[in-house]
Structure 1
């Protein structure tokens, strides 16, 4: 049915071509390459044509760029590299902001120049290379309007400055690009210049900011011929030493491994990690979790965040599943046994991914990872004997993706994920068909997916289904959407994907109004309204409705603010009781909030968020405040502090299940989170970073109000024996990372990291914040010191070494 609707919609959509004039850049082959130092005094630059006449892009398309702020670009190539020089004229170079930062952190308080290069001229996928006025470089991969800064290649770029403005010089090796092996290349390009002081962005080829994606507006590149894709084999060997101290015990560990990138063809690349060690990945921001769903965290492991855009098609891949907690359990224990060791995660043995796109715009991806067998250790307290219990066998994770793109704005994808575990453990297979289709005029877009899951726990397969279908108007000041989401009761993609709930049949409609040209008062504003209707799939009953509106404004002085309001009808929660078929009814409620954000170009700036919510027919309410001031002492030193306080009075939720029924308890929830981020950048290659977070939360049931959950979702007051389980909770966690990073050569980096961690959880919910913090400091702290060195080796340059 969905495919028929999609076909009908495509027949009805307009077919006019996106109106635009595309500039052409004639590339020049050179014999004597320039020295990449940011000083454009090489003879070769003076002999090349300049491409200028930039256009306004932000805050709006209207307006003329003054001659004193003009930009000129020169473009050249030889057998091994692409070269770009940018002349960024400014009548007041002393006012150009130059805040230092590290790789990929280019959008700080500094001007930025960007090369957006599409080596297949497909209007969808492009590689971007950045440098800012402080000399920080960055790179990203852009596809379907999404920018992925986890993409990393090795290239060279430098800047300089004089009384006429600033200058940028790039050398991009061909092994950082993917292009077809043909005599004449068909490329496209655009250049962006961000002027931070003027709060403007200029582009070489005009981009109509109200229609389509940026990638559809590149100018063409002609004249690139006679180049061949090089041997794309790069090695990233690493060594790492770790010393850990916890509760009087110390341990040291030494590891070594390698990441490999190999160009299988002109379009496809193999990425693999051998004997990986992710000991320096950023810590997870753990919180007290009282809900029915698992707590999840963002991916911090570099291999799993870099170059996975293709594998995210269909939204059925959650990389934290690989090397996550074991799926098995220790089973029943004997009377005198206890668990002395139960690993919380599974070690990754190796992983690889192959991805690329053909000349016909067909993307192909394959991912494989293997995790090792994991055991828990059980001890007999009388004899001291120990036995090992397998809680996770050798597991194999696979993904296969096909993604066909067309029309510079549309795609359809087929994705399959598969998890195989040795022995009598669960296996899983999930397949998704996803589409994202727009008409040529970029007026309407429709997207959706069909997901089928199959899980085998040793007693046959359990099959589940999910569908999504949305229609959007994507052109003009007024836009709208209609959507429908459905999942049956057996959907389960959680072996390699992530879904918190199934069994729903939801509808959504929304609209927005926004401006694309600045007014006297605002550079930009947008107003949104969304209405949702929620039902169960089985039985077909309503679970709730909601309406949400928000507005966002930005002034010419870069002061941003917004407001929001929402109302939820009475709703039935079928997940909070933790029993199939049972539900807990929550009363209707309303809330509102807002935020302000000051101009980050100033040395002192801040963000402030406020929120309030009240539940009808209950004495329950919630309020929160978040304040985040920042101060830039110098261009080298930035400090950001954040404090978040929230209070939820008379909240109620699940406490305990037994044969007599489901117990619901009333509690007061308090959260305080403090964090500090400080960075001292010596230059764009060396920095000291401090990252600190303390999260405290309590669930206090001191009112002694408990209910028995009724079959109709209502509650009947009851007594509760705390001997079953005391629900009071005091949760406190502390993380501190202090690191020194040094990018000592292109692609090569050394990181020295000190990590301090503490955790405490008990039932002393009456403790205040300072008392809880004092109790936390009584706990043993884990101290970790590690040094990791990664070196970049380009095998194609082996000959040059000698």
Structure 2
């Protein structure tokens, strides 16, 4: 064994010798026989008999200070064989002044007070399910894991609020099908409670959390008394039905769809989620932009199945769910002289998807995800004979993810994850990627080490290609002064893009950084952070330097909730091996420097805004200058109606980049690139269960090569101007890109877990080479295009097997 490996193993063992944080408080949950009525009015007999737990502590903006008696908080906790029940007494001497902006589920950071139950059913200091409620009655749930806080995690629970002259109150019913816990007689749970007082800019917690030391999940108090739970069968159904009509360019198409999502508790710890007949007809539109770069344009996940409870599968960052049901991997191949493609699907359809996930009492997380997509065809027609043929551009495909994640000592984990894509047919590629991941901290949360090792295998036409990637980072994570050092490596054959997302390979990079941050309030500031980062970037093969960069960033947050910050950075000459789109070739971009800043006003006020600006200047033989400014005002007309506008303008003067290439030559062009984006977001909330939402986006961008300056790329990365680039023969790089999307919807959460959504959507798209047009002219051309109108109604209904099993017994 090498000396270096011995040192690494010694450090790893040293870091894993941890001790758990002391749990200074205990709460006894009481078993009850008659559950309370969940109406937010805490007058049930059961609550009068239970012990109240209070004595909350200051958490935000700092730990200093004493909570006044008239702002005290008290909680009570009970349980039976069906659910956990919690009552919260949130006293306030001025209840009429409590902020109470209405919002919809999971929008819990509106301008309202809120209360949070942070329940850890494994008492492991890492995994929590948090149940929110605002003073306006909006509920939300969040899955907290080691490195993620996910509001996409949605379970069915109930909470109601009420208010009187003493303050406001919250009453919870959290059924066991919303929780996962070990199958043991005596449960070892922990909990913390958070109360956010928006007007005072404070957060109080039941168990004290030391700011700046460890994670807040490590400070929970112990829950005693939960034992001998005999929960009902954890089986729930989410049937849905959708009707949709689409009108485009004089043609109308109507479609009816239905499907079923199932959640089944395989045990108290593990859950099966399955999608039968998947349908994603009402997912949010993607923010498509003009893409001039060498990398694919990607978007975040909007499909609920792939956002809910997905934290385990994100270990190692080798799973990108948008690959499932994404673009076909094949092509139509060579066409005959008279053939044309008349139908080329942009996405493949899913047949079904399922995932199994959970964690044992010893902290071992296990996850399994599988999806199957159907064969996808392109339709080709002979323009002379009219004959048509189909070409398979994506065969029957199986996507699989498997992960093991061992957590320990309340702040550390090691993981193993594997992804595979198996496509039917020898002419399509298969892929398998394996990752080993660790994230380990010492007992005092002073230092943390994290890293991953990735092995990719891609088989194409019988040939196997193996790639490798590694990362190692060391952090100081405690105190005002913090720092990090890291190394990232990938060889030339790394490829995880069948089920992952990776833009670059062939690098050997180093990073160092440090920061100073204010942890407890001081003077006019509630907090601030100043950090510096330096990066050295190299190719692995050949081993050459590509760029060095240096960045200084700052963020300040005052006691009056006014935020501002600034940054500056410098990049040395960049040898870019990706812009030419040809292996082994690179183009030189000269050194550049720039900076920017932002201000953000107090969102508690009816009118507030965000303002950002930046600029960047290139030196040497490149005269490019970049500017960007964005402005986003918002106005809260009432607690029901909020309007947010946003405009973003950017320009890149004398920018140059790839325009075309042959087998031997790469052509570059000088251009001005301008982008202008406007969005409108409006929401009218009737109450926490019904709302009308408007979301509108218009994005316009041009790449203007009217200077008619073109270059040929030299072997040494420099460029030589040419006079014979003919846009009628070669690719015309001028672009005028304009897109419009509008969603207008009515949402109604008519029962727990059940929702109806009526959606009207229209969208227009235009892309041409008229780069000389301004924004108004381009917008006029956009609205000359046919508009696609979509109206759809989707109803999802939540069914708990325990509520309907009697029907089946009577029937039998």
TM-score, normalised to structure 2's length?
0.98
- The answer on whether the counterparts of 1:15 and 1:441 sit within 8 Å (CA) in structure 2 is no
Equivalent residue number for residue 352 of structure 1: 354
Equivalent residue number for residue 287 of structure 1: 289
Residue ranges of structure 1 left out of the alignment (5+ in a row): none
Per-residue deviation at 1:8?
A: 2.3
Per-residue deviation at 1:10?
A: 2.9
Equivalent residue number for residue 182 of structure 1: 184
* CA offsets 1:314-353 (integer angstroms, 9 cap, x no match): 1000000001110111111111111100000000110000
Q: 1:273 to 1:209 in 2, by over 3 A?
A: same
Indicate the SS of the match to 1:8: helix
Equivalent residues in 2 for 1:600-679, closer than 5 Å:
600-617=603-620, 618-659=622-663, 661-679=665-683
* CA offsets 1:290-336 (integer angstroms, 9 cap, x no match): 11000000000010111110000010000000011101111111111
Per-residue deviation at 1:459?
A: 3.1
Equivalent residue number for residue 209 of structure 2: 207
Equivalent residue number for residue 769 of structure 2: 763
Per-residue deviation at 1:4?
A: 4.8
- Number of paired residues? 802
Q: Are residues 1:567 and 2:591 paired?
A: no
Cα distance in structure 2, aligned partners of 1:389 and 1:181? 52
Q: Are residues 1:776 and 2:782 paired?
A: yes
Cα distance in structure 2, aligned partners of 1:394 and 1:247? 33
TM-score, normalised to structure 1's length?
0.99
Q: Are residues 1:270 and 2:272 paired?
A: yes
Q: 1:3 to 1:685 in 2, by over 3 A?
A: farther
Per-residue deviation at 1:187?
A: 0.5
Equivalent residue number for residue 89 of structure 1: 91
* CA offsets 1:155-191 (integer angstroms, 9 cap, x no match): 1100011111110000111111111222211100000
Q: Are residues 1:728 and 2:730 paired?
A: no
Per-residue deviation at 1:18?
A: 5.5
Cα distance in structure 1, aligned partners of 2:13 and 2:48? 53
Per-residue deviation at 1:12?
A: 4.6
Per-residue deviation at 1:68?
A: 1.0
Indicate the SS of the match to 1:771: helix
Per-residue deviation at 1:22?
A: 2.0
- The answer on whether the counterparts of 2:23 and 2:222 sit within 8 Å (CA) in structure 1 is no
- The answer on whether the counterparts of 2:19 and 2:409 sit within 8 Å (CA) in structure 1 is no
* CA offsets 1:747-802 (integer angstroms, 9 cap, x no match): 00000000100000000000000000000000001100000000000002224668
- The answer on whether the counterparts of 2:514 and 2:532 sit within 8 Å (CA) in structure 1 is yes
Cα distance in structure 2, aligned partners of 1:16 and 1:277? 46
Q: Are residues 1:715 and 2:719 paired?
A: yes
Q: 1:384 to 1:4 in 2, by over 3 A?
A: farther
- The answer on whether the counterparts of 2:561 and 2:602 sit within 8 Å (CA) in structure 1 is yes
Equivalent residues in 2 for 1:734-753, closer than 5 Å:
734-753=740-759
- The answer on whether the counterparts of 1:693 and 1:735 sit within 8 Å (CA) in structure 2 is yes
Match of 1:314 among 308, 313, 316: 316
Q: 1:370 to 1:15 in 2, by over 3 A?
A: closer
* CA offsets 1:623-657 (integer angstroms, 9 cap, x no match): 00000000000000000000000010000000111
Cα distance in structure 1, aligned partners of 2:450 and 2:653? 41
Equivalent residue number for residue 166 of structure 2: 164
Cα distance in structure 2, aligned partners of 1:333 and 1:725? 20
Residue ranges of structure 2 left out of the alignment (5+ in a row): none
Equivalent residues in 2 for 1:493-512, closer than 5 Å:
493-512=496-515
**What is the RMSD of the two structures over their aligned residues, measured on CA atoms?**
1.2
* CA offsets 1:587-644 (integer angstroms, 9 cap, x no match): 0000100000000000000000000000002221000000000000000000000000
Equivalent residue number for residue 432 of structure 1: 435
Equivalent residues in 2 for 1:294-305, closer than 5 Å:
294-305=296-307
Per-residue deviation at 1:32?
A: 2.0
Cα distance in structure 2, aligned partners of 1:526 and 1:479? 11
Q: Are residues 1:146 and 2:148 paired?
A: yes
Cα distance in structure 1, aligned partners of 2:249 and 2:354? 37
Equivalent residues in 2 for 1:513-592, closer than 5 Å:
513-592=516-595
Cα distance in structure 2, aligned partners of 1:288 and 1:674? 15
* CA offsets 1:525-558 (integer angstroms, 9 cap, x no match): 0001000000001000000000011100000000
Equivalent residues in 2 for 1:284-433, closer than 5 Å:
284-423=286-425, 424-433=427-436
- The answer on whether the counterparts of 2:21 and 2:219 sit within 8 Å (CA) in structure 1 is no
Indicate the SS of the match to 1:320: helix
Per-residue deviation at 1:516?
A: 1.1
Q: Are residues 1:794 and 2:797 paired?
A: no
Q: 1:360 to 1:16 in 2, by over 3 A?
A: closer
- The answer on whether the counterparts of 1:299 and 1:319 sit within 8 Å (CA) in structure 2 is yes
Per-residue deviation at 1:28?
A: 1.0
Q: Are residues 1:108 and 2:110 paired?
A: yes
Per-residue deviation at 1:726?
A: 1.3
- The answer on whether the counterparts of 2:714 and 2:720 sit within 8 Å (CA) in structure 1 is yes
Equivalent residue number for residue 706 of structure 2: 702
Indicate the SS of the match to 2:525: coil
* CA offsets 1:404-447 (integer angstroms, 9 cap, x no match): 01011000000000000001200000000000001111110000
Indicate the SS of the match to 2:333: coil
Equivalent residue number for residue 73 of structure 1: 75
- The answer on whether the counterparts of 2:14 and 2:442 sit within 8 Å (CA) in structure 1 is no
Q: 1:16 to 1:401 in 2, by over 3 A?
A: closer
Indicate the SS of the match to 1:265: coil
Match of 2:467 among 464, 468, 473: 464
Match of 2:198 among 166, 175, 196: 196
Equivalent residue number for residue 122 of structure 2: 120
Indicate the SS of the match to 2:102: coil
Indicate the SS of the match to 2:10: helix
- The answer on whether the counterparts of 1:757 and 1:782 sit within 8 Å (CA) in structure 2 is yes
- The answer on whether the counterparts of 2:18 and 2:409 sit within 8 Å (CA) in structure 1 is no
Per-residue deviation at 1:356?
A: 0.6
Q: 1:287 to 1:5 in 2, by over 3 A?
A: farther
Equivalent residue number for residue 489 of structure 2: 486
Cα distance in structure 1, aligned partners of 2:768 and 2:44? 68
- The answer on whether the counterparts of 1:124 and 1:408 sit within 8 Å (CA) in structure 2 is yes
Q: 1:729 to 1:101 in 2, by over 3 A?
A: same
Cα distance in structure 2, aligned partners of 1:660 and 1:32? 80
Per-residue deviation at 1:230?
A: 2.4
- The answer on whether the counterparts of 1:145 and 1:215 sit within 8 Å (CA) in structure 2 is no
Indicate the SS of the match to 1:523: strand
Cα distance in structure 1, aligned partners of 2:7 and 2:463? 34
Per-residue deviation at 1:3?
A: 6.3
Equivalent residue number for residue 446 of structure 1: 449
Indicate the SS of the match to 1:378: strand
Per-residue deviation at 1:131?
A: 0.3
- The answer on whether the counterparts of 1:10 and 1:439 sit within 8 Å (CA) in structure 2 is no
Cα distance in structure 2, aligned partners of 1:250 and 1:599? 47
- The answer on whether the counterparts of 2:20 and 2:409 sit within 8 Å (CA) in structure 1 is no
